[in-house]
Amino acid sequence: MQKVYLDNAATTPMSLEVITTITKVMETTYGNPSSTHQYGRSAKVLVEKARKNIARYFNVTANEIVFTAGGSEADNLILTNAVFNLGVQRIITTKIEHHAVLHTILALEKEQDIQVEYVKLTPKGEVDYSHLNELLGNEKSKTLVSLMYINNELGNILDIKFVTKICQRYNALFHSDTVQGIAHFNIDLQETPIDFIAASAHKFHGPKGVGFAIIKKGIGIKPLLLGGEQERGARAGTENVPSIVGMEFALRQALENISEEQKHIANLKKYFVERLKNTFKNIQFNGNSEDKEKSSYLILNVRFPSEMAMLLFRLDLKGIAVSGGSACQSGSNKGSHVLHEILSEKEALKTSVRFSFSKYNTKKELDYVIEALKELVL
């Protein structure tokens, strides 16, 4: 049985070069970065070198980088600090954010009595920028706008430059969950001065369990995790040295090859869209996922004409890994909160599948998926 992995928005396979890099660090540099002896100093050098390199990729300073256990922790750290440390009284967001953002905001609303407002969405799941402008102009209390760069289910791309300008106009802070965009799109934080962004290494062929937050210079951070002065007091806990080094290597590898990989994966997505259209009648594409300009080249969300409750399971039996939405929703009987927000009840009940691609995928694999779908759907 052939195996095809098309769930790269959930997580990506580590590259062999990253595995080799991590293994070497595990073998040779096992000191605690907080220790003052030579073993500790060697580990500290690797952590700080990785920090400086990551900062350079985003055109920020090294002290703006905080290493975390992933994107969810980074989002939690940012949002919690915005309320507890920066005096934010109001958060503007959408109802289709990742749950790392939505659930944190709901908890803050309940526990800290902050005001939460939701930006309207178009039927395609796009942010209504006019409504965002209106919301920001209607209230003078200290506000944080939290809008994800690329929606993890639809692939919709936010115009982060435009949102940054709107936020600056009204003196609002801007946080963007950029987990699906890091290493796949260039982000220069001097050209687009977002206040806070989040990243997770396993989305760009790095290790799981490590990520980072970028927090604008001059904004102090109080830790969520207490017990030590690691990360300049922003996060207690011994740094995961091998994974931090592996993450930086994976990020560098991706950015050095970004044009080539963008072209390869975009061609795969285009080919797959054409084959789907030519093979199946009445399929639709959720959000902007079919649009090559308005959607990430990595994500395609397909809605089939009817409900097929066992489709993902049957695809899995054929060796094909895909998702019905966010991987974080696996095991939930509620379905996708994103699709329920933008589709009618009738359309949301139909089976939707998220296909997400990587540099390792091939047209031959996509042909195999089409043949499997023909057998299961037609």
In this predicted structure, what is the pLDDT of residue 325? 60
CATH number given to 4-12+258-377: 3.90.1150.10
The pLDDT tens digits of the residues spanning 249-267 come to: 999 999 999 999 999 999 9
Q: Using 50, 70 and 90 to split pLDDT, how confident is the model at 297?
A: very high
Residues 142, 89: contact at Cβ < 8 Å? yes
Q: Give the C-alpha separation, 80 to 270, whole Å.
A: 40
HEC secondary structure over the chain: CCCEECECCCCCCCCHHHHHHHHHHHHHCCCCCCCCCHHHHHHHHHHHHHHHHHHHHHCCCHHHEEEECCHHHHHHHHHHHHHHCCCCCEEEECCCCCHHHHHHHHHHHHHHCCEEEECCECCCCCECHHHHHHHHHCCCCCEEEECCCECCCCCEECCHHHHHHHHHHCCCEEEEECCCCECCECCCCCCCCCCEEEEEHHHCCCCCCCEEEEECCCCCCCCCCCCCCCHHHCCCCCCCHHHHHHHHHHHHHHHHCHHHHHHHHHHHHHHHHHHHHHHCCCCEECCCCCCCCCECCCEEEEECCCCCCCHHHHHHHCCEECECCCHHHCCCCCCCHHHHHHCCHHHHCCCEEEEECCCCCCHHHHHHHHHHHHHHHC
Q: Are 224 and 184 in contact (CB under 8 A)?
A: no
Backbone angles phi, psi at 221, to 5 degrees: -125, 130
Q: In this predicted structure, which of 57-61, 162-166, 226-230, 317-321 has the lowest mean pLDDT?
A: 226-230
- The answer on pLDDT for 162 being more than 80 is yes
pTM listed for this prediction: 0.94
Distance of CA 40 to the CA centre of its chain: 32
Is 326 within 8 Å of 152 (Cβ atoms)? Answer: yes
Q: Given this model, what pLDDT does residue 329 score?
A: 44
pLDDT of 214 strictly over 80: yes
pLDDT tens track for 52-94: 999 999 999 999 999 999 999 999 999 999 999 999 999 999 9
Specify the pLDDT at position 331.
Answer: 46
Write down how long the chain is.
Answer: 378
Residue 334 has pLDDT above 80, yes or no: no
Domain ranges of the chain: 4-12+258-377, 16-256
Beta-ladder partners of 91: 116, 144
- Sequence letter at residue 332: S
Averaged pLDDT for residues 31-40:
95
Q: How far apart are CA 121 and CA 127, in angstroms?
A: 5
Q: Which residue has the higher pLDDT, 360 or 221?
A: 360
For the residues 213-230, what does the mean pLDDT come to? 89
Catalogue the active-site residues: 328
Fold (topology level) of 16-256: Aspartate Aminotransferase; domain 2 (3.40.640)
d(CA 198, CA 215): 9
